[in-house]
Amino acid sequence: MQEHIRVALAGGGSAEDSRRLDEVFATWIGSHGKLLYLPIALRGVRPYQSCLEWITATCAPLNITDITMWIDLSEHQASDLDCFDAVYLGGGNTFTLLAQLRESGFDRYLQAFATYGKAVYGGSAGAAVLGRDIRTVNHLDSNDVGLMKTEGLDLAAGHSIWVHYQPQDDMLIRAFVQKYREPVLAISERSGIVIDKAGFCSVGFEPAYRFTINGKTEV
């Protein structure tokens, strides 16, 4: 069922930075679609009410108004996802986010959700966990939760995701690719990547890049 996947990856900028990507995501949901927002990567960092206000303001110009926020995944089951058309994984600490997804079983639930054609959006940490491995954020996030297994949800066509990309990161990315033998999609704050049945393409104000053992190419 992989051919039905629809995943949007944002580099972690502002709502204006990700506008073009957000517009594509909105077409997937439709004006009558139901969006589930998960700001859990910001646990203990920012009040969840302010997170809800942010996603509401971001989605309003896109005619996405039916938004539900969950802040504790342990209260929900896989079947609770059935009524939603899309899931939005917000930014924050990537290790915290992946740990919460694993502990609740939602890593598997979201993989199934995406595999059956439902739309998934990842911003910053949310994008990183949708990749193959989250060690791409070792230079950004602290692993305060002591997470040992760094494998992500692997919904990015076999790539790990490098968020908040800047050209000076190239040396770090090349070292990652050489060490772990995994391709990387590097996304700046003003770029984004869409993954669907046609493959993956860049959607944003700046280019995104693909790094492999053979070098760097523009997406």
Domains contained in the chain, CATH given: 2-218 (3.40.50.880)
Q: Which two tokens stand for residue 145?
A: 């939760």
The pLDDT tens digits of the residues spanning 35-66 come to 999 999 998 788 999 999 999 999 999 999 99
171 burial via Cβ count (<10 Å: 0-12, 13-18, 19+): exposed
Q: Which two tokens stand for residue 158?
A: 């076999």
Cα(34)–Cα(159) distance, integer angstroms: 28
Q: What pTM was computed for the model? A: 0.94
Task: Provide CB contacts within 8 A for 9, sequence distance 6+.
Answer: 21, 122, 127, 130, 156, 161, 185, 187, 192, 193, 194, 195
Percent of the chain at pLDDT above 70?
A: 99
Put the strands of the sheet holding 215-218 in their side by side order. 160-162, 184-186, 209-212, 215-218
The pLDDT tens digits of the residues spanning 111-145 come to 999 998 899 999 999 999 999 999 999 999 999 99
Block residue for tokens 């066509």: 157
218 neighbors 26 (Cβ within 8 angstroms): no
Put the strands of the sheet holding 86-89 in their side by side order. 66-69, 34-38, 86-89, 119-123, 6-10, 192-196, 199-202
128 neighbors 136 (Cβ within 8 angstroms): yes
